[in-house]
A and B are shown apart, each in its own frame.
Chain A
Amino acid sequence: MKYLDEYRDPKAAQSYIAAIEELTTRPWTIMEICGGQTHAIVRYGLQDMIPSEITLVHGPGCPVCVTPIEKINKALKIAALPNVIFCSFGDMLRVPGSGKDLLSVRAEGGDVRTVYSPLDAVKVAQENPDKEIVFFAVGFETTAPGNAMAVYQAKEMGLKNFSLLVSHVLVPPAMESMLSNPECKVQGFLAAGHVCTVMGMEAYHPIAAKYNVPIVVTGFEPLDILQGIYMCIRQLEEGRYEVENQYARAVEEHGNTPAQELIDQVFQIIPRQWRGIGEIPDSGWCLSEEYKELDAEKRFDMEENSHKECMECISGEIMQGLKKPSQCSQFGKGCTPDHPTGAPMVSTEGACSAYFRYRKDAA
């Protein structure tokens, strides 16, 4: 199939692996930021194919995983209200809050619907004027333009029954937060391609320069990732610390400027809690003053809730690349994809879930 098979070609993969082997003279630790990349690495068995000197650690880039449990609890409460139609992307439905998930709310009678685009939720709002429609706006910069467009359109149309429960997170502040930790072992990054499709690469240059780390904007197919690793190792071996673009077929230096303008209008930057990591300054978006009336947290008077994560869970260390999932005492025992206790076990893109599903050492 065009645009897929050429990025999954076994011969090309072998030649990249050979080139990486030739280049590598000592151990290196590289983090892939995005959950989609983690998924591809384990799904295609890439870790076992590259030289053993290279350690891949899996970053915090799974939006489902890092959504704070307090926010999920709010979603569960809103979704259970009698006059609400709660719309969400599919993989948020199985994410456990304190005790249950959105699928259970649906089983108990809540009107919870999977949508494929936030604009579908706007349509639901138009079709159901006597109901309150809430869309769970989760994600990194990648999903922000669509979510911003939904809010923008709802306001333009004067829809009074549409609101957004926002839990947006941003990549560059999370990278800075990790790199400023003295224990950080990450020597190079594969940045998330689709995040950069929207936001461009500008924000990464100061990070590469300040922390002396190569950052390679990378795609999601196996050959993308192998090429990203190759480019990253080449910089490390040559002692360069620059931002490079492996994913040139989708990413430009300045990104998608109309999308950025819409995001700037609809959202504003705030500190954000990351599940398993804690609060990171300037790492999230909430609705801007102009759009505050569409904020579900304002519309539905929700009490703040708090939740204690499982004591044994080491997800924070895993998502910062300090430990591997299999080093957790709960991995595959108390914590499985069916009963996740920690954030990265939640979504198929979470590092623990990906290990559990695909890795032999997890069995």
Chain B
Amino acid sequence: MTKPDVSNIACPIPFAEYPTVMMAHGSGGRMMQRLIDDMFTVAFTDVQPNDSATLSIPQDKIAMTTDSFVVRPLFFPGGDIGTLAVNGTVNDLAMAGARPKYLSVSFILEEGLSMETLWQVVCSMKNAAGAVDIKIVTGDTKVVERGHGDGLYINTTGIGIIEHEHVIAPEQVRIGDAVILSGDIGRHGMAVMSSREGLSFEGDIKSDCTPLSLCVLDILDAGLKPHCLRDVTRGGVAAVLGEIAGASKTQIEIKESAVPVKDTVRGACEILGLDPLHIANEGCFVAFVAAGEQDEVLHIMHGHNPLAAVIGTVSDGKSGIVTIETPIGGQRILDVPAGELLPRIC
């Protein structure tokens, strides 16, 4: 797939005139029109000039999802709020087994945001959308007063088409299913935390922000029938598995030593007293598949991330519980994180 790259194009808004976002850019008047014409439609070439985009959908079954993106800092190692806003919604569509087709983009901009920053984010979005062939067809812009936003917030809504009859949902999880993680965990959360807090760790930690639809569609196109797919975002593996164990009324048993974590992430978590299983990801999902399909699914995942691994199985033990075999052979319950992750005192 060709990757359009507009990052070498200079921001088309003349900076000398408007170096920063002003309240008028959200007022509906000429300045707003100019922002749309000179920046958004330059990058987002599929945007339709009407209040609503009209779309043709070849399938009678679609998936639709929406997500809002707030992240500080806006740029972090491995990505930025723009790549997150596209990939996040693409990944939610992928988890329903849908092929991403259309995307809406709403910006909430803070007065004073640099136009150059906005342009970089817009370029990231264009590149991320191009990588999975999702079309940005409609959007909206609002501006809030200085001090009332963290630079910019983005909401994206995505529509994908479902080209198969197969149901992918937590309720489809069956006793004996293999639990497969599509890659190593913890990179996004630690990359954002370390750049936000100015912590430096040996070896750079880059966010894993990436579209998952490519991997999921490869699995589905191979005729495999995963029972449940879930992207492992906020709350990490622990929260996602806890949720699925609850919804499927099964016990999920995982092996801690099988969970792939890069040494840089592990080291950073050790220092801060955090558990990699609680850390957010933006390019990793967990798949529940019948034991017979395990090897094939894993093989396809390895084409996208060589660290994909089977981390556990589903059993008929205690309903709604996730248990973990510790590296030294002990057993415990895998808890769901309480909320904000807070580094320990000592």
Contact = CB atoms under 8 A, between A and B. Distances in A.
A114 interface: yes
Given A91-B343, A103-B340, A363-B333, A222 B328 contact: yes
A4 B346 CA distance: 17
Contact of B329 (A49, A92, A223): A49
A230 to B, nearest CB: 14
Contacts of A8: 327-328
A337 B342 CA distance: 13
Contacts of A91: 273, 342-345
B345 A14 contact: no
A185 to B, nearest CB: 24
B333 A43 contact: no
Interface in B296-346: 318, 321, 323, 326-333, 335, 338-340, 342-346
Interface in A292-340: 337-338
A183 B263 CA distance: 46
B329 A13 contact: yes
Contact of A44 (B197, B263, B326, B344): B326
A139 interface: yes
A14 B329 CA distance: 9
By size class, the interface of chain A is 35 or more
A132 B328 CA distance: 48
A358 interface: yes
B318 A359 contact: no
Contact of B331 (A14, A36, A360, A363): A360
A194 B344 CA distance: 14
A222 B326 CA distance: 10
B37 interface: no
Interface in A255-271: none
A43 B340 contact: no
A139 B346 CA distance: 8
A247 to B, nearest CB: 14
A94 B327 contact: no
Contacts of B328: 8-10, 13, 44-46, 49, 222-223
A43 B345 contact: no
B326 A142 contact: no
A1 B266 contact: yes
B329 A10 contact: yes
B75 to A, nearest CB: 21
Contact of B263 (A1, A338, A347): A1
Given A89-B345, A90-B343, A91-B343, A46 B331 contact: no
Contacts of A360: 323, 331-333
Contact of B343 (A48, A114, A357): A114
A44 B343 contact: no
Given A1-B263, A358-B333, A363-B321, A116 B327 contact: no
A143 interface: yes
A349 interface: yes
A348 interface: yes
A42 interface: yes
Nearest to A36: B346
B345 A49 contact: no
B270 interface: yes
Nearest to B320: A363
B112 interface: no
Interface in B42-97: none
Contact of B330 (A48, A140, A362): A48
B170 interface: no
B267 interface: yes
Nearest to B344: A91
A114 B344 contact: no
Contact of A90 (B321, B327, B344): B344
A223 to B, nearest CB: 8
B346 A42 contact: no
B199 interface: yes
A94 B266 contact: no
A48 B331 contact: yes
A90 B342 CA distance: 5
Given A1-B266, A94-B338, A363-B321, A358 B345 contact: no
A178 to B, nearest CB: 21
Nearest to B199: A116
A33 B331 CA distance: 23
A284 interface: no
A89 B344 CA distance: 7
Given A36-B346, A89-B343, A349-B344, A116 B197 contact: yes
B326 A63 contact: no
B270 A4 contact: yes
Given A94-B338, A363-B318, A43 B332 contact: yes
Interface in A73-103: 89-94, 103
A46 B343 CA distance: 24
Contacts of A64: 345
A100 to B, nearest CB: 14
Interface of A: 1, 4, 8-10, 13-14, 36, 42-46, 48-49, 63-64, 89-94, 103, 114, 116, 138-140, 142-143, 194, 222-223, 337-338, 347-349, 356-360, 362-363
12 contacts: A4-B266, A10-B329, A44-B332, A48-B331, A89-B345, A90-B344, A94-B340, A338-B339, A347-B344, A348-B344, A349-B344, A356-B335
Interface of B: 197, 199, 263, 266-267, 270, 272-273, 318, 321, 323, 326-333, 335, 338-340, 342-346
The 5 closest A-B pairs by CB, nearest first: A45-B330, A90-B342, A90-B343, A357-B335, A13-B328
